Amino acid sequence: MTKTLLAALFITLLSGAAGAHDEPAPAVSGSAMTATLVRIRDAAVVSDYAYRQTAMLSDEVGPRLTGSKGAAEAVKRVAAELRALGLEVKLEPVKVPHWVRGEETAALVDWNNRAEGLSHKLAITALGGSVATPKKGIRAEVVPVRDFAELTALGRENISGKIVLFTAAFDEQMAAAGRAGDAYGGAVAYRGLGASKAAALGAVAAINRSAGPIGNHQPHTGALRYADGVAKVPAAAIAAEDSLLIERLAAKGKVTMQLLLTPQTLPDTDSFNVVADLKGRELPDEIVLVSGHLDSWDLGTGAQDDATGVAAAMHVAATLKTLGLTPRRTIRVVAWMNEENGLKGGTSYAELHTGDIAKHIAALEMDYGSGHPTGFAANVTPATLPLLKPIGEVLSGIGAGIVDFRLTGVGADIGPLNKLGVPGFAPLTDGRDYFTIHHTAADTLDKVNPRFLAENAAVLSVLAYALAEGEPLPRLPVTP
Amino acid sequence: MTKTLLAALFITLLSGAAGAHDEPAPAVSGSAMTATLVRIRDAAVVSDYAYRQTAMLSDEVGPRLTGSKGAAEAVKRVAAELRALGLEVKLEPVKVPHWVRGEETAALVDWNNRAEGLSHKLAITALGGSVATPKKGIRAEVVPVRDFAELTALGRENISGKIVLFTAAFDEQMAAAGRAGDAYGGAVAYRGLGASKAAALGAVAAINRSAGPIGNHQPHTGALRYADGVAKVPAAAIAAEDSLLIERLAAKGKVTMQLLLTPQTLPDTDSFNVVADLKGRELPDEIVLVSGHLDSWDLGTGAQDDATGVAAAMHVAATLKTLGLTPRRTIRVVAWMNEENGLKGGTSYAELHTGDIAKHIAALEMDYGSGHPTGFAANVTPATLPLLKPIGEVLSGIGAGIVDFRLTGVGADIGPLNKLGVPGFAPLTDGRDYFTIHHTAADTLDKVNPRFLAENAAVLSVLAYALAEGEPLPRLPVTP
């Protein structure tokens, strides 16, 4: 079947125009389909199901770092809830890293014109995967650098034996202007790559200004990636306020830091993706996957990152069950393990399902908090976009009508599926406030607005059902 | 001299009308005086002097809790700066309390439907003056109460042996509407009085929801006051987020907390108010006092509470020196010690100066952060208000023209002077953001807007100079 024909069919399905093709007739007529999507939207948006599941994960389970008791308990609870909805639930094994945070303290112990006995305590947190400092800690000069170019320009003679501080700021104006993801992208490279870049020039540790707005004096954790062939040095994030303090003091003279981090990397351990099917009535082997990630960082309770995503995916099944709707294809709810520090859930799933990847019609993930959704983002071929317009029209009834074309992935866990050709989708969520609490102790249930969460769940519900009913979308090109 | 005559003189002084009285002629004519105040205003508002002093106290000295090395260093630095301005500087001894923070950890270790091994770490900080828990900590049920009435209603049978959590919230809408001080007042009573009220019913510890807006997951410290004749129990504040978590969990069943606090109260120690005179040219014994407090809490660097206040008071002298103006009366810059946990600086000063209290014409204090000032607050007799209008008119040129009448004190340290009859003044500062960081680790230099700080310093400069030139204002009634 050509893509053009496919497009015509999909539009027919949703637009209400009568179709006359030699392909199998759509399960429902266009106008009936629109009415059904409106019913799903309106049922989803008034339900508190996702909020209750978020509260369960955030309050009753708490932090869910991969390998922790909280993560294991979350698997059990979510599986039980999905079974209670009547879904077919499997736990798919995933071998995961097991990193545990230890003590973490840092202080400035000397600076220009310091009086005897004074120090500045810093708000610091180890990056996920960091090695520990020696037990007595590290005492060294801190050298602030604006970016990798400045690091390179300073060179080994100025970096060797020092602690490098990457001072790149999260651009708050950019975030306020609606481009929070781009603002995050501009800062997070230093968290991910800074340790090895600094170590390559002889640094003894790397610190980064937290990848989030200034104001709450919280350090934002997150994963780092050590490069092969370079010494692994301890790495941590400090509050934006403390980064500015060091910049100011360093402008006047040498600044010395005392740093202690005692995290441990334990042997890889066993965990699971929770995979739960609402079986399709006509094409049960074909799958529309809707998901969030179950693991979280350990500082807060991962309410927005990503209990809301898991809960909203569960909400899709709950809504269809409430309405007594069985989709044409299977809608598969997945709660991923280990998005934060390894992505083992997403990569394992893609490996395990290589054989039936062609049966995966679409993959949805929600992992950007639960602010008001303004629509959805689609990682699809350009030709697919017009096919999605009718879905956007249904969602415009809750202010979520934008269909945003993306050439890049829209969710980390579904990235491996996208690379195998599966179109990807995510709610287009207002993320202006998301990075204030992202990966901090402040990511707690009170940050979740129940109405906005239900709106995101409605986006997923309408989108998943429409994709499960209509003809398959064009596949993405397979990339290595 | 009657108050009416005084008023007439003061108005004459500032209004530009020619006065003809048998009192000594004003030092400068009205229009010349207005021009001078405008010069002071405009010089003060473009100077970065106060910002540099704030940076010195916040960055180079750091936290300045009473009794600490930081507090002692701050005394030295501020005295040296004021001497460098050419002022006559005295260190007036003050015997101060010496409380030091220790370890402070708390976790929820049991709740309804908790899985084995799970816990919730809480963001907690001991209140200033709190006693310690036993070394192994306290493990007890937490009972949330909305207010003192609910505590009383629960009674000893429900409180004895428990940890009481006061859940009263800082009213963020009230604060956003410009009444942040009132919002603070509504929450802070539980911090101040909660421990003894709870202990009177047999509680083993008292926790309060932090007196500030929710959002940054920071605990806000502050002083408590133990009542006489009641057992002293450990007391601490938790982040607003954690208070809500406990409320939610407690609604479903018993919640158990493990609490460890190891603060110590050491013997009282010696410290100082820094008292620096810019001597008056005609009436050097008469004093207009302008002040802020030098001590801070220990979690942040006390940038807004109250390095900015001290720095703005210093800015008054710096501005007059720059302009070569010597006021008619002495302008006395005071940096108070121990505002936060004892008020010994303010009370000692009033005791030490009982003999010359009548020579104190007015007392100014800035201790509400350094947001944009909209005018000034005056703790004066109602009849005084019209006399202040011309000063407000000069300040309206920088958007600070409101003259706000207060029946209550306008600064803690100058409260004892107000009670002895000395009129009190403070900048009327935009405090909408102040309580977000107040008494937390986030009270750091980056929160200070240099322009707004200079505006506050301009308010103090204009006000202090006008009061030092004009006739004395009516005294406040002396109160016990």
Point out the least confidently predicted range of A1-5, A119-123, B48-52, B302-306. Answer: A1-5
Max distance between CA atoms of chain A, in angstroms, equals 87
In the prediction, which pLDDT does A88 show? 98
Mean per-residue pLDDT, A315-327:
98
Q: Bridge-partner residues for B331, per DSSP?
A: B278, B288
Beta carbons of A187 and A229 less than 8 angstroms apart: no
Distance between CA atoms of residues B433 and B419, nearest Å = 30
- Rounded to a whole number of angstroms, the distance from the CA of A120 to the nearest CA of chain B is 7
Give domain status of residue A474, yes or no.
no
B89, B123: one domain: no
B241, B196: one domain: yes
| A120 in contact with B, Cβ within 8 Å | yes
| A169 in contact with B, Cβ within 8 Å | no
Pick from B262, B294, B322: which residue ends a domain?
Answer: B262
Structure tokens at B12: 């004459």
| A123 in contact with B, Cβ within 8 Å | yes
Give domain status of residue A480, yes or no.
no
Distant-in-sequence, close-in-space partners of B291: CB < 8 Å, separation ≥ 6 = B309, B310, B313, B333, B334, B335, B336, B363, B364, B365, B366, B411, B413, B414
For A238-279, the pLDDT digits (tens) are: 999 999 999 999 999 999 999 999 999 999 999 999 999 999
The number of residues in chain A equals: 480
A258, A312: one domain: no
Beta carbons of B446 and B340 less than 8 angstroms apart: no
What ipTM score was computed for the predicted complex, to two decimals?
0.88
B37, B83: one domain: yes
Give domain status of residue A454, yes or no.
yes
- Strand B163-166 relative to strand B138-145: parallel, antiparallel, unpaired? parallel
Number of CB pairs, chain A paired with chain B, less than 8 A apart: 99
Beta carbons of A384 and A418 less than 8 angstroms apart: no
Pick from A208, A230, A262: which residue ends a domain?
Answer: A262
Q: Which of A59, A114, A209, A445 to mutate to test the interface with B (most CBs of B within 10 A)?
A: A59
A198, A123: one domain: yes
| B59 in contact with A, Cβ within 8 Å | yes
- Alpha-carbon distances of A186 from A169, A201, A212, A240, B465, rounded to whole Å: 8, 23, 10, 15, 49
For A40-93, the pLDDT digits (tens) are: 999 999 999 999 999 999 999 999 999 999 999 999 999 999 999 999 999 999
Task: Report chain A residues whose CB lies below 8 A from the CB of B120.
Answer: 62, 301
In the prediction, which pLDDT does B9 show? 42
B window 231-250, beta carbon within 8 A of A: 239-241, 244-245, 248-249
- Rounded to a whole number of angstroms, the distance from the CA of A236 to the nearest CA of chain B is 19
- What is the DSSP secondary structure assignment for residue A301, as one 8-state letter? -
Q: B30-37: long-range contacts (C-beta < 8 A, 24 or more apart)?
A: B33/B466, B33/B469, B34/B390, B34/B394, B36/B325, B36/B465, B37/B391, B37/B394, B37/B462, B37/B465, B37/B466
Torsion over CA: A155, A158, A159, A163 (sign): negative
| B117 in contact with A, Cβ within 8 Å | yes
The residue ranges of DSSP E strands in A10-54, in sequence order, are none
Distance between CA atoms of residues A259 and A105, nearest Å = 6
- Residue A414 pLDDT more than 90? yes
Give domain status of residue B227, yes or no.
yes
Question: Tokens 């993959």 belong to which residue?
Answer: A363
| A114 in contact with B, Cβ within 8 Å | yes
B144, B33: one domain: no
- Residue A19 pLDDT more than 90? no
In the prediction, which pLDDT does A165 show? 98
Q: Bridge-partner residues for B92, per DSSP?
A: B273
Confidence (pTM): 0.91
A142, A207: one domain: yes
Give domain status of residue A3, yes or no.
no
| B51 in contact with A, Cβ within 8 Å | no
Distance from first CA to last CA of chain A, Å, rounded?
26
Distance between CA atoms of residues A302 and A394, nearest Å = 31
Distance between CA atoms of residues B335 and B307, nearest Å = 9
Max distance between CA atoms of chain B, in angstroms, equals 87
Pick from B262, B281, B298: which residue ends a domain?
Answer: B262
pLDDT beneath 50, residues of chain B: 1-9, 11-13, 15-28
- The residues of B annotated with a catalytic role in the active site are 339
For B396-406, the pLDDT digits (tens) are: 999 999 999 98
CATH number where B186 lies: 3.50.30.30
Torsion over CA: A124, A128, A134, A139 (sign): negative
Give domain status of residue A460, yes or no.
yes
- Rounded to a whole number of angstroms, the distance from the CA of B291 to the nearest CA of chain A is 24
- Rounded to a whole number of angstroms, the distance from the CA of A182 to the nearest CA of chain B is 23
B331, B313: one domain: yes
In terms of CA atoms, which chain A residue is nearest residue B63?
A: A120
- Residue A26 pLDDT more than 80? no
In the prediction, which pLDDT does A148 show? 97
Torsion over CA: B138, B139, B145, B148 (sign): negative
Give domain status of residue B435, yes or no.
yes
CATH number where B66 lies: 3.40.630.10
In the prediction, which pLDDT does A1 show? 37
Distance between CA atoms of residues A263 and A52, nearest Å = 33
Q: Which of A111, A120, A217, A449 to mutate to test the interface with B (most CBs of B within 10 A)?
A: A217
B445, B325: one domain: yes
For B143-197, the pLDDT digits (tens) are: 999 999 999 999 999 999 999 999 999 999 999 999 999 999 999 999 999 999 9
Secondary structure percentages of chain B, helix, strand, coil, to 5: 40, 25, 35
Domain boundaries, position B234? 102-262
For A125-170, the pLDDT digits (tens) are: 999 999 999 999 999 999 999 999 999 999 999 999 999 999 999 9
Question: Tokens 């394992």 belong to which residue?
Answer: A348
Q: Which helix (H) or strand (E) holds B266?
A: strand B264-278
Mean per-residue pLDDT, A100-122:
97
A187, A315: one domain: no
Distance between CA atoms of residues A338 and A64, nearest Å = 10
B window 401-430, beta carbon within 8 A of A: none
B19, B133: one domain: no
Q: A407 falls in which pLDDT band (50, 70, 90)?
A: confident
Give domain status of residue B479, yes or no.
no
Q: A30 falls in which pLDDT band (50, 70, 90)?
A: confident
Mean per-residue pLDDT, A326-345:
98
Helix/strand/coil for B472: coil
Distance from first CA to last CA of chain B, Å, rounded?
26
Distance between CA atoms of residues B444 and B303, nearest Å = 5
Angle between helices A30-45 and A3-15 (to 10 degrees): 70
Helix/strand/coil for A100: strand
In terms of CA atoms, which chain A residue is nearest residue B242?
A: A444
Beta carbons of B98 and B265 less than 8 angstroms apart: yes
B404, B345: one domain: yes
Total domains present in chain A: 2
